[in-house]
Amino acid sequence: MRRKIVAGNWKMNKELAPGMELVTEIVASNTAQDVLKIIAPPFIHLAAVADKIKGKSDFAVAAQNCHQAENGAFTGEISAGMIASCGANYVIIGHSERRQYFGENAQLLAQKVNTALAQNLTPIFCLGEQIEQRNANTHLETVKQQLKDALFHLPAADFSKLIIAYEPVWAIGTGVTATSHQAQGMHNFIRSEINKKYGKEVSENISILYGGSCNPQNAKELFACMDVDGGLIGGASLKAADFIAIANSF
């Protein structure tokens, strides 16, 4: 049984005090307890958020990125082990902004996935197409290649630990959202490719989230799709009322 998940990616927003106010408000709502609510704040919040949600099985904390090396002379970087030591259980890997602004490619992302798993962190692995690929009708092949290049080296036992997040790049921060038909079509395609590689048991039990301008107005329709197991939420996760409303949309 796939778990319903709503993950809030704060990106580079919220200093420490307002960040903790936001977490406090979300936790105090005490709603949607059947939904796993993952909070992905900036690194400076990780330990404090982990402490705030301690003992709450419907909450978890994620980092937004990790370095591919276990440790070393990488000034300014954060290792998977450091993230785990703060009490986090998840880490976002491969977000389109990391790919676009920091040049992260499939080989690097595969290394990050390996490192995260070695530290018992669950990767929330992002993939998706640009608008040019969607318009050229190569979006399915694009996503298939992203799966193959960064994830399909994993044995089934490790792959089963992942969460996949489909983010149509053309819908991130643009206010444009994939239609429920487009979202379901891609999520079903991703699940079918996983089935081909790892079999039905793995494909049917892995959660696939939608990320791309998901908000309280469209979440219910998106989450009603058979293969959409929740959302990776950007801007709407910065307002407690919006994030709570999305979590209540199943």
Q: Give me the residues paired with residue 92 across strands.
A: 124
Distance, in Å, from the CA atom of 232 to the CA atom of 188, rounded to the nearest integer, reads: 17
- For range 156-160, the mean pLDDT: 98
The CATH number linked to 242 is: 3.20.20.70
Tell me what pLDDT residue 17 has. 97
Closest listed residue to residue 230, CA positions, set 5, 59, 9: 5
Tell me what pLDDT residue 174 has. 80
Residues 6+ apart with CB under 8 A from 230: 4, 5, 6, 7, 35, 36, 207, 209, 210, 223, 250
- For range 114-143, the mean pLDDT: 96
Whether 84 contacts 119, CB under 8 Å: yes
pLDDT surpasses 80 at 118:
yes
77 CB-side CA count, 13 A: 15
242 CB-side CA count, 13 A: 17
Tell me what pLDDT residue 191 has. 98
Predicted structure pTM score: 0.97
Please give the structure tokens belonging to residue 14.
Answer: 């919220």
Closest listed residue to residue 10, CA positions, set 249, 250, 171, 242: 242
The number of domains in the chain is 1
Tell me what pLDDT residue 188 has. 98
Tell me what pLDDT residue 30 has. 86
Closest listed residue to residue 93, CA positions, set 71, 77, 76, 108: 108
Which residues are catalytically annotated?
95, 167
Dihedral angle sign, alpha carbons of residues 188, 221, 246, 11: positive
Helices (H), 31-94: 46-52, 80-85
Angle between helix axes 139-150 and 106-118 (nearest 10 degrees) is 50
Give 33-55 pLDDT, tens digit per residue: 999 999 999 999 999 999 999 99
Give 213-247 pLDDT, tens digit per residue: 899 999 999 999 999 999 999 999 999 999 999 99
pLDDT surpasses 80 at 173:
no
- For range 101-124, the mean pLDDT: 98
Whether 244 contacts 212, CB under 8 Å: no
Range of the domain at 138: 4-247
Angle between helix axes 16-29 and 240-247 (nearest 10 degrees) is 40
Whether 213 contacts 250, CB under 8 Å: no
Confidence of residue 171 (pLDDT cuts 50, 70, 90): confident
Tell me what pLDDT residue 211 has. 94
Confidence of residue 139 (pLDDT cuts 50, 70, 90): very high
Tell me what pLDDT residue 74 has. 98
Distance, in Å, from the CA atom of 4 to the CA atom of 189, rounded to the nearest integer, reads: 19
pLDDT surpasses 80 at 70:
yes
